[in-house]
Structures are given as C-alpha cells and as structure tokens.
Structure 1
Amino acid sequence: MKRTRLSPSKPVAVHHSGEGLDQNLLDSPSPKVLCRASGILIPKEQIQDRWIWQHADWPAFTWQWDQLVGPLGTAHQALGRLQMAGRVLSPKAFQEVLAEVLTQEGVSTSAIEGEHINPASMAASVARHLGLPVDSNAPFDRKAEGVGAVLSDAMQNPSTPLSLDRLCRWHRALFPKSRPDIAIGMLRPGLVHVETRVSEEESIVHFMAVPRAQLEPELDRFLEWFNSSSSTDGLVRAGVAHLWFVTIHPFDDGNGRITRALTDLALSQAHDSDPIVRMSSRILQVRPDYYAALESAQAFRQGLDITPWLQWFLTQVAEACTQPEQIIQRSLAKGTFWARYNDKQINERQRKALNRLLDAGPGGFEGGMTTRKFAALTSCSPITASRDLADLASSGCLIVVGAGRSTSYIIPWDSLIPSK
C-alpha cells in the first residue's frame, strides 16, 4: 500500500460487513485477515502487529509519572484558575456561561466529524436542557437536540454508572433518523477501520478497531475499569478513557462524539465543582495534531506505554481552560459595564446594540458597530442610528474609532477587563 503523510482532512470511519470474505476469519480474534478498503486489500503483513490492541497484555497501559509531572501540574493549575474565576459569577451568570460553553462544545464536536450544526439551534437545545429561556426564533434541529441531550447527560449525571445501555442511548440521540448504513443504538455488527482516501482506488488505513468477536468482552472490561478507577488522577484517567474507548470503536459511526462526551464525563467526575471544562472546542482547533497523536498512540510499535499520548492530552486540557475563562471574563465585564452605565438614559435600541457588542467580546464584533449595522440590527433609520450611537459615545458607553465614513464604535474593554 502506498505510504503518504497523514492527511490534514478528517479520516473516515468505514464499516465492513465482511461481504466476500471468510466469515470465520472475520469472527476470529486473530488479526491475520484480509480487509477490503475502498477497493484495495490490506496485505496480511500490514495487519499483523500494527495496532495497540494486538499486544498480548492489552489493555495493561503504563505511563511514566515523572514525565507527566509538568503537563499534569500545568493542567491542574489551569483548572484551578478557571474554578476561581467561576466562583465570582452569580448563579444566573454562571448558567449563562455554561450554556455558551456547551453550545460551542456541541457545534465543535459535530464539526470535528465534518457535520454542521446551526449554532442558534444548538443554543436553543442547550437552553432547554438547562432550563433557561429558549430563543423562539431558533430553528429546531433534531441533531442539535441529540447532541444537547448527550452533553447534558454527561454533565448533569456524573455519578451515574457508565453502562452499555447509557452508551447506546447516547448513540440513538446522535442519530435521530434511521440510516441503512448504521446500526443505531447497538454495537457494530462488523469490522471498522479509519482511513484517509488518497484516490478513488487507494486509501491509507490509519487504524483498525478490535474484531467484532472481541467487542463485548472489551467493552465489559472498559466499563468495569471506568466505574471503579477513582484512585487514578482524574485528568490522567480521562486521557486513558479517551484513548481506550476510541480504540475499541464499538459503534458503526459516532465513536468520536461519544468518546469526547465520555472524556467530558470523566473530567466532570474529576472536577465535579467545575462542569465547564470541555474538550471538543480545543480538539477542533488542533484537529490534525489530534489525529496524529491518536494514530501514534494506537500503533503497535509504541507498545502499551502511553506516556506521549497522556502528555499531549494533558497539554490540551490546560489549553481547553482558556476559552471558558475568556467567556467568564466577558460575563464579568458585561456585569461591570451595566453596573457602571445602568443609570444612563439608554433606550431599547441602544441596549440591544450594546448587548450585542458585549456578547461578542473584545474583537468579536468585526469592524465595530457602525451606523449601518446599528440600523440593520434595530430596524431604525440611519439618522436615528447615528443619533443613538453619538449619544452612547458622549455618555462613555462606546468609544469612537476612525472618522467620516470609516467611523465605528466599540465597547471600552480596557476599562472593564483587568490586564494580567
């Protein structure tokens, strides 16, 4: 098989029923089988001793604690800062931050798999699950509802034991419509591998999951460990769970999304006072590196020492704290803003525009607020928009940037968010 570099595009999980192959070989736990991938055959020698689950001692993972001290300490410090920041928020503000974090998580975990979910639909689904007001104008999306249900269950029920039934319910939620190519809500009936298409005739197989005959005992072993592994450091445990479950790859599709929900569940169990630590948004930012780290960790030649994978994972946990910390800062800044300017004479049009700028955060509203944008947002005339913006600038609510036709208005963020 032709060797090329790992494609930055998302590898494709492919299900194989075994048609045209000897069924006894497919059902055997032995890796010495021929598996068809997009019209090519993977030679026996390229299957034998290729993946981590083929080790005799699988899944007896090991790691070197001395090499994890640095990234583990950094991750715990980042989580500590995030927890301290969250404690300053009022209960209402914290729920709003949590809703925004989960909305981004839902959109991101789907985007990693190449699926688009309308952010407004995702936000509405999250709001429903959190018991918050729902935007009646948001389009209803069954996929968003399913993702929201999985995220909600992983966050709100950290003490509920993980079971096959729970995993299958997550799978059914992710696939609300029947599909002939996917066994929905049940374990995959055949082989699965992950590949990148090189051409119509050729693919690179990055990973092949455990054979179907091993699936039930593998899952039983994983679930027993997950439900009784509290003695392991919580962040390390989350990293092990992520690699282990995605290597088992128990479903036809949706394994990545369920793995990330499982990881968030493990993080919630490790830090049950801080449910806003989520991984999908971060993984989306470093998706090529994520696939490369997984492929390396799942390779037979690396053995069962998963120290490099855990180093990578713990580094991402620390980075994953940055986004919710910024959302918390923005929420605090918004509260400070309204406490400072609430006594000003601000009409509903102006309040709507200010909230739009505050919600976008520093640099989030590209080009600042202009007369044209204000008029479109509030459905008023350009003359009224110009007068409203001028009034906000004179009261200190907004800062004027530029002049003439290039005039725009921004929130005085420097006075609201303390510099580090």
Structure 2
Amino acid sequence: MNTAQKPRYTWQNPEWPRYHYDVQALATSLAQARHKLEQLEIKLRAIGLVQGDADAMARDIWVQEALATAAIEGQQLDTDQVRSSVMRKLGLANAGISARHIDGLVEVMFDASHDLDTQLHAEQLCRWQAALFPHGISGMQRIQTGQFRSFEDAMQIVSGKIGKEIVHYRAPDSAHVAALMDNFLAWFNAPPEQTHHIDGILRAAIAHLWFETIHPFEDGNGRLGRAIIDRALAQDSHIRSLGIAGFTAMSRTLLHQRKAYYDALNAAQTGGLDITPWVEWFLQQFIAACAGSEDTIQQALRKSQFWIKHAHSNFNPRQRKTLQKLLDAGDGGFAGGMSAEKHSKITGASKATATRDLSDLLRQGALLSYGVGKATKYAIDVEGWHLDLRGVG
C-alpha cells in the first residue's frame, strides 16, 4: 500500500488497524449504556416474559430490524413477507410465503445473534453474503457472491449523478482483502484476555468500523457489518447471561440516524487511528436502541392485551385480518385510519360487507371511529395509542 503521501484513509496508515480511544472520555457514556441495559433487563423481568408475549416481542423486533437494515441500504422489503419469514424462523404458526432474499437476510440475522459458541470465520461470512443475494444479482447488476471481492477496479462508495460522482470512501484493494480479513477475524475470535477484556459494547463499535473499512464484499457490506454488531453484542458477557441479545439490536436506531451514521463512519475511516468520537457516537446509538426496544416491548404487550381483552369477541376472519394489520402498524402507524374501502382491499370483501364488518368491530369495542358518513375513519382501540390523521380531509 502506498503511504508516501499523507494517508487519506485510515487503512493507508502503516499503524492501521491499531485503533485507540480515550477510556476516560468514554466512561460517562459507557456507564449510561450499561445503565440503560440494566433498565431494559428490569423491564423484561418485571413483565415476566410470558411465552406468548415473548414470542410477539421477538417477532416485532426481528421484523423491524430486518426492515431497517435493508432500508439503510435503500432496499424496501415487503413487511408481510418479512413477518412471515421471521415467524417461520421462530417456529410460530401461520407463517406465510416470503422471497428467498428476505429469508436469507433473516437467516443471517438469526445466525449472527444465536450461534455464539462458533468462531466467526471467512466461510461463514461468505455464506451470509451469498444468502443476501440468492440469485447473484444486486438491483439489475450481477455481482460476486459467496466470496471476497476479487476485481481489480477500486472499491468505492460514491454518490451523485454520472459524471459528477462524489467519492466518499475508497476501500483497500481487493488483493489485500483476504489477509486483512484474516487479521480482523483473528482479533474478533481472540479470547478476552488477549484483547485486554475490551467492553462488549466497545468491541461491537470497533468490529463494525474495522469490517466496514475493509469492505470485503462487492455488495452487502453494510448489512453484514450490522450483523457483526449483533454478534459482538450477543457475545457480551452481561447481555449473554441475561439472554436478551435480540433486544439490543441496533439497525432501527441507525436507520433513524442514517446520514449521521454514514458521516460518523466516514469521519472514522478518513481520520487518524484515534476513534474516540466514533465510539462515543456508537454508545449513544446503543442507548437509543435500548430505549427503542423498551418501546417495542410496551407495544407488544399492548397488542397482547388487546387480544386478551377480546378473547371472547366474535370476530370473523376478515375482521381479524384487518385488526392484525392495524396492530402490526403500531401506534399511529396506519396513516389516515381504516376505512371501508381499505378494509375491502385488505380482505377482498364487498363495500357493503366491509362497512358491516367495521360497524360490528366498532360495536364490539375493537375500533374507535371519527368523522361522519363516507368520511368515517376507524382506528384500533389500544390503550395509549394515538390516531394518525394524515391523509384525512
């Protein structure tokens, strides 16, 4: 690697990847992250994790994570198919159909967070990457799958129109990838005493940055890098002992901070080897992720309580389908409310039948209504949830 000039990227520094950070500067944020983790544990213990509730929470979190990690890369997945794939992976009943690339992503996420006693190795990462692209195609372009990149062209992250591209990052040349990954995996798989017992959350931050800096695959590096975050967090001794690895997932938070996420990564990849700012930013996202999981747990409980409340209600299959759709959308997630027309599209019922279905749900206390006549809209009656009036004239 040419280091005659001042390095633009950290990997061009002859000392890379000897990252370092200011432990004292990070102490407050790390303590806050650990405290937030304890609060999450307390909430999980307080609700007793009844089996049905635990399944619902796990399903909701995995679905949101799968949607988010794909959305960060600009890929919009079908929510129903993601839910079906997650339900099938969890062994839950009533799982529907799902596309192979969705099943592949869900498989990668589960493997990352559950196969904790097996060392992470290059073959496994290659299988993960191949699972993301089962047809060997990304968008409209055929790509290398199941192997580290081997092309001679520079691996660059660019944006902008053709002819006016902006190069945000250039990764190490393909010829160096195998050796760089050997070094990374040796560090990642090393026993704690060899890595000076690095805190598990800090280890996740370093691992993600290191992997993304190498950028070993032609495509899928972001999703795999976030799977490595999940693996590192799940291997944290405290998180592992509590059995709450699935509740500390980060992708939803990173999606909400997508620009800041890319900016933070870029700054860490183009600066020196002091990664204190990157780790500080990562810790704040972990804190936010734990808070988000608390919200998901609360929402899952409210959904469960809705079905308990209506255990003896006489809902027909059409009504149950629409109620589940509203519940899956979450608090304020069904913009404009439910209408007879929307219920008809969801279930295939006639307009007259749809109107009767919704009136009956209102009578049974499952829905709330607002508006009059043809403008009547409905929202599910879940305590603490709010109506979303977007699109309502």
SS at match of 2:145: coil
Q: Give the counterpart letter for 2:222 in structure 1.
A: G
Q: How far apart are 1:306 and its partner, in Å?
A: 0.5
Indicate how the Cα distance of structure 1 residues 194 and 345 shifts in structure 2: closer, same or farther if over 3 A, else same: same
Question: Residue 315 and residue 191 in structure 1: after superposition, are their counterparts in 2 closer, same or farther (change >3 A)?
Answer: farther
Aligned to 1:112: 72
Task: Provide the rounded CA distance (Å) in 1 between the counterparts of 2:158 and 2:11.
Answer: 21
Report the CA distance between 1:253 and its aligned residue.
Answer: 2.0
Change (3 A) 1:379 1:192: same
- Which structure dedicates a bigger proportion of its chain to helix? 2
Question: What is the 5 A alignment of 1:14-413?
Answer: 29-31=1-3, 48-87=6-45, 88=47, 89-136=49-96, 138=97, 140-178=98-136, 182-189=143-150, 190=152, 192-228=154-190, 230=192, 231-270=197-236, 271-272=239-240, 273-274=243-244, 275-299=246-270, 302-413=271-382
Return 403-412 or 387-396, whichever deviates more.
387-396
2:391 equivalent in structure 1: none
Paired residue total: 371
**Separation in 1 of the partners of 2:191 and 2:365?**
55
Tell me how far apart the structure 1 counterparts of residues 159 and 333 of structure 2 sit (CA, whole Å): 36
Q: Which amino acid aligns with 2:203?
A: R
SS of the counterpart of 1:57?
coil
Aligned to 1:9: none
SS of match in other structure, 2:156 = strand
Runs (5+) with no aligned partner, structure 1: 1-28, 33-44
- Is the alpha carbon distance of 1:187 and 1:101 closer, same or farther for their aligned partners in structure 2, counting shifts above 3 Å? same
Q: Deviations over 1:55-82 (max 9, x none)?
A: 2322221111222233323323333333
Residue type of the alignment partner of 1:408:
K
The one-character-per-residue Cα deviations of 1:129-171 (angstroms, maximum 9, x if unpaired) are 22223543x3x42211221221121122122111111111112
CA distance in 2 between partners of 1:402 and 1:181 (Å): 51
Say if 1:334 and 1:260 are closer, same or farther in 2 by CA, change over 3 A. Answer: same
Summarize the Cα distance change of 1:100–1:212 in structure 2 as closer, same or farther, 3 Å threshold: same
Task: Give, in angstroms, the shift of residue 289 of structure 1.
Answer: 1.1
Of 219-228 and 124-133, deviating more is 124-133
Q: Give CA-to-partner distance per residue, 1:205-249, whole Å, 9 cap, x none.
A: 222222344333322221121112531111111001000111112
**TM-score normalised by length of structure 2:** 0.84
Matches of 1:266 and 1:229, distance apart in 2: 13
Q: Rate the CA distance shift 1:97–1:192 in 2: closer, same or farther, 3 A.
A: farther
Fraction of identical pairs, as percent: 39
Q: For 2:383, what is the secondary structure of its paired residue? A: helix
Aligned residue identity for 1:405: K
Q: Distance in 1 between matches of 2:173 and 2:314?
A: 69
Structure with bigger gyration radius: 1
Q: Any idea what the Cα deviations from partners look like across 1:320-342, whole Å, max 9, x if unmatched?
A: 23443333212211222233333
Structure 2, unaligned stretches of length 5 or more?
A: 387-393
Please say if residues 104 and 132 of structure 2, whose CA atoms lie closer than 8 Å, have aligned partners that are also in contact: yes
Aligned pair in 2 of structure 1 residues 376, 298: CA closer, same or farther (>3 Å)?
Answer: closer
- Report if the CA contact (8 A) 2:209-2:265 is conserved: yes
Identify which range, 362-371 or 168-177, moves more after superposition. 362-371
Letter in 1 for 2:249: R
* Equivalent residues of 2:303, 2:327 under 8 A apart: yes
Task: Note the C-alpha offset of 1:202.
Answer: 4.1
CA distance in 2, matches of 1:202, 1:325: 44
Distance of aligned partners of 1:218 and 1:375 in 2 relative to their CA distance in 1, 3 Å threshold:
closer
CA contact (8 A) 1:193 1:205 kept: no
Deviation at residue 95 of structure 1 after TM alignment: 2.4
Deviates more, 1:198-207 or 1:150-159: 198-207
How many angstroms does 1:413 deviate by?
3.0
Q: 1:397 to 1:243 in 2, by over 3 A?
A: same
- Aligned-CA RMSD value: 2.7
More divergent stretch after superposition (101-110 vs 382-391): 382-391
